[in-house]
Structure 1
């Protein structure tokens, strides 16, 4: 398996560390804003419906930003783990090296452009069963596999028992009541 050299991984490690420190600071700042905003919103909540609605929307937006930033921090931690395991920069789809410029622009990426295109096209959505079937086809040819498929015989139909209609029973009961 080809991979980036230890020196190159060290360079990527520095880039990721810088991004990680910046993302952690931004995450803390966003969390502080959320807690401050939550405290302020609770003081005058209920006085004005339009202001309450606007405040709730702002709080939701802040919470979404926190979640995105938290995901970014997690992605950066995962990238550091890939560097430690010396698999950083290897496309998870194709197994080839991801372009250096792409890694510098998006250090958390796990896919090359080629891998992303393959995955988006659905070509790479192959299961183990598909691989086994394809291997079998190569050995025997597709026609032999198709000819081996047998349809099960249809189940035997059981005659349905005749049911007495309720209508007839009701009519009989009404006749008995009249007598």
Structure 2
């Protein structure tokens, strides 16, 4: 078995494992984004239960805060989905798992936990 120092790239089998992890996370993320979008589109539908105007003004502030929170969540999730998609591209072009700062192989345990990462933990900590 090769040591981490000798190894400069992951095998096809290892890359397939990472790709499966990324695809699962991407699907879950896209499902969550879709759920938020559906929730936001329903919030615009007042329905028939809002007959008292006085209570509606009190609810408007809470609704706006909730919409803002959902929009922020959707934005974060969209960014995460983009990072996952970029990781899939790196798998295809052979650069996945290589630290962008040091050129060293990122440990598989880190990639399993944070599959979109482009840095070893040492490089990430050094950059902070």
Q: TM-score, normalised by structure 1?
A: 0.61
Q: In structure 1, what is the equivalent of residue 99 of structure 2?
A: 91
In structure 1, the residue matched to 2:115 is 107
Counterparts of 2:114 and 2:65, CA distance in 1: 30
Aligned partners of 2:43, 2:57: CA distance in 1, in Å?
17
Q: How many angstroms apart in 1 are the aligned matches of 2:39 and 2:66?
A: 11
In our comparison, the structure showing a higher alpha carbon Rg is: 1
Equivalent-residue separation in structure 1 for 2:78 and 2:61 (angstroms): 26
- Tell me the equivalent position of 1:74: 82
Task: Tell which has more relative contact order, 1 or 2 (C-alpha 8 A, sep 6+).
Answer: 2
- Unaligned 5+ segments in structure 2 are 1-6
Structure 1 unmatched ranges of 5 or more: 121-179
Give, in whole Å, the separation in 2 of the partners of 1:33 and 1:46.
24
Q: How many residues are matched?
A: 119
Q: CA RMSD in A?
A: 2.1
Output the CA distance in 2 between the equivalents of 1:46 and 1:82: 55
TM-score, normalised relative to structure 2? 0.83
Within 5 Å, give how 1:1-179 maps onto structure 2: 2-40=8-46, 48-120=56-128
